Amino acid sequence: MALKITVIGTGYLGATHAAAMAELGFEVLGLDVVPEKIEMLQRGEVPIYEPGLEELLRRHVAGIEGASGRLRFTMDWAEVAEFGDVHFVCVNTPQKHGEYACDMSYVDAAFTSLAPHLKGPALVVGKSTVPVGSADRLARTLAELAPAGEDAELAWNPEFLREGLAVKDTLRPDRIVAGVRSERAEKLLREVYATPLAEGTPFVVTDFPTAELVKTSANSFLATKISFINAMAEVCEASDGDVAKLAEAIGYDDRIGKKFLRAGIGFGGGCLPKDIRAFMARAGELGADQALTFLREIDSINMRQRGQMVELTRQSLGGGSFLGKRVAVLGATFKPDSDDVRDSPALNVAGQIHLQGGQVTVYDPKGMGNARRLFPTLGYADSAVEAVRGADVVLHLTEWREFRELDPAVLGGAVSQRVLLDGRNALDPAVWRAAGWTYRAMGRPAA
Ligand code: UDX
């Protein structure tokens, strides 16, 4: 008989995982503690912009016309425990307010709410990004609280999905990491992922701490690549080198690789910044803080990029104050194909210039609602052309396709001065310069 799956937490990770599991043919029950979320999901709607996710949900949510009906949602822990053979815990682990450490309260609440209802055999699978050592502790929570005793087991199976590519990453993962303590747990996880779509995907079996560490070390490595190239951008800036050419040239060495070497205003979002900080905090607790002191530097290089973009903007306006200057900002989200503005470098730069007296107007294809909520005092426009109208300088801060397709001549007709600062090294300098623009990017020669 086919396994029945539950997904606890229906945020960006959980909603995607639940829909993907239904797509793979499983009966799925999703749980959330927020009634509004459940109501939306039951209508086949998602509160976030994630390409392909709504379509995937609509193909499976019970009650939607033409849907498979394999996906349902509830707020009832007992129903979830009764229904599922495998329970995926997908709740978030944000950064604690004012601290580096991550907030485990949602994960802890999920385990203490579910465990007392687990009366029969069940596999609980942690997917959230957690400090190493959490799985061991949560296994003890399960053993203490689940009436099923040893029949209720834990596995750790981190996710690596990227915002904007969540559906693809879930249905076609690069690898599956399974932290397990028994053959039974491994067999069940293999059964979940033994679908035609996941065929050929490497399946790496580990212990608990290694599974937890795979996630945090992968994100630390990615963050390191970005800060490395941004450090090279600073050196290029000081020596008239060109960081884009440098990245291309070093990237041909396949030990280095081309990806994650785009210099600019750096990384943001709900994962990389908080994950490297939580990793440092955890290493400190384990007495291994020296091993990760380099991450402090990675973080500070990253944060410095935002200030440097502000300074580049100031220079391009002749130095001095921003008072009376009109600054257009293209992009608000932390990356394209997402409406997520959490720790967004683009909004941070826009906010700094605004606080220093600049008249800032922001446009973003999908992030306007979230940006307005977070930074209500910034100016906003409904299109790129409207945002740049009368601008003394245009900042390109999130590399949406829409911005790559802009016609420099049309934009040139709207601005007060044709000055473009590319904070993402994603536009073609030759095209913009040919249309009479002064094009500048961090780590690249002025002309
Ligand atoms: C990241 C990891 O990639 C993913 O595997 C993990 O599961 C969650 O965290 P995500 O937060 O969606 O995913 O964003 P990612 O695509 O990694 O980009 C992070 C940030 O780095 C963005 O702000 C992006 O603009 C920036 N970035 C990326 C660069 O500045 N330069 C690059 O070369 C690549």
| One domain, residues 91 and 37 | yes
Whether residue 349 contacts residue 308, with contact meaning beta carbons closer than 8 Å, is answered with no
Give dist(CA 362, CA 370) in Å, integer.
12
- Please, what is the Cα angle at 19 between 369 and 367, to 5 degrees? 15
For residue 251, what pLDDT is reported? 98
What CATH number does residue 352 fall under? 3.40.50.720
Instruction: Tell me the C-alpha distance between 370 and 24, whole Å.
Output: 32
**Best probe residue, ligand 1, of 12, 177, 222 (max atoms within 8 Å of C-beta):** 222
| Helix segments in 335-440, DSSP class H | 345-355, 368-374, 384-388, 401-404, 408-414, 429-434
| Block mean pLDDT (10 aa), the chain, length 447 | 93 95 96 96 93 97 97 98 98 93 97 98 97 98 96 97 94 94 97 78 96 98 98 96 98 98 97 96 96 98 97 96 97 97 98 98 98 97 98 98 97 97 97 97 91
Q: Rounded to the nearest whole angstrom, what is the distance from the C-alpha of residue 443 to the centroid of ligand 1?
A: 20
Query: Do 355 and 427 belong to one domain?
Result: yes
Kindly state whether residue 446 falls inside one of the protein's structural domains: no
For residue 359, count other CB atoms closer than 10 A to its CB: 18
Q: Is the CB of 268 under 6 A from ligand 1?
A: yes
Contact criterion met (CB below 8 Å) for 262 and 398: no
Domain co-membership, 189 together with 231: no
pLDDT at 198: 67
Ligand 1 atom 19: residue of nearest CA: 267
Token reading at 187: 């067999």
334 lines ligand 1 (CB under 6 A): yes
d(CA 153, CA 70): 25
Q: What is the pLDDT of residue 121?
A: 96
Boundaries of domain holding 42: 4-206
The candidate with the shortest Cα–Cα distance to 230, out of 396, 425, 446, is 425
Domain identity same for 108 and 191: yes
Q: Is residue 212 part of a domain?
A: no
Cβ of 163 below 6 Å from ligand 1? yes
Count how many domains the chain has: 2
Cβ of 269 closer than 6 Å to ligand 1, yes or no, is yes
Half-sphere exposure for 70 (CA within 13 Å, toward CB) = 20
**Which of ligand 1's atoms lies nearest the C-alpha of 160?**
7
Whole-number pLDDT of residue 290: 97
d(CA 399, CA 423): 9
Q: C-alpha angle 52/54/59, rounded to 5°?
A: 95
Backbone angles phi, psi at 380, to 5 degrees: -130, 150
Atom number in ligand 1 closest to CA 163: 12
Give the tokens for residue 261: 């070497």
- What pLDDT shows up at residue 258? 96
* Among protein residues, the one whose CA lies closest to atom 15 of ligand 1: 162
**Within-domain flag for 211:** no
Q: Which ligand 1 atom is at minimum distance from the Cα of 335?
A: 25
Pocket of ligand 1, candidates 16, 127, 162: which has the most ligand atoms within 8 Å of its Cβ, to mutate?
162
Assess whether 138 and 281 both reside in one domain: no
Instruction: Please say if 271 is a catalytic residue.
Output: yes
Ligand 1 contact via 262 beta carbon (within 6 Å): yes
| pTM given for the model | 0.96
Same domain (yes/no): 144, 240: no
CA 393, 223, 233, 299 torsion: positive or negative? positive
Residue with tokens 């446009």: 363
Cβ of 225 closer than 6 Å to ligand 1, yes or no, is no
ipTM: 0.97
Contacts of 140 by beta carbon, 8 Å cutoff, 6+ apart: none
Question: Ligand 1 centre from 340 Cα, in Å?
Answer: 12
Q: Give the residue from 171, 206, 241 where a domain finishes.
A: 206
Tell me which residue has tokens 């329970």. Answer: 87
Tracing tokens 């194909």 back to the chain, one arrives at 337
User: Do 246 and 383 share a domain, yes or no?
Assistant: yes
Question: Do 173 and 311 lie in a common domain?
Answer: no
- In angstroms, the CA 318 to CA 338 distance is 34
Give the pLDDT of residue 47.
85
pLDDT given at position 196: 59
How remote is the CA of residue 21 from the centroid of ligand 1, in Å?
24
Q: Residue 410 has which token pair?
A: 């049309």
Residue whose Cα lies nearest atom 20 of ligand 1: it is: 267
pLDDT at site 197: 59
275 in contact with ligand 1, CB cutoff 6 A: no
- What DSSP line would sit under 177-225, residue for residue? EEE-SSHHHHHHHHHHH-SGGGTT--EEEE-HHHHHHHHHHHHHHHHHH
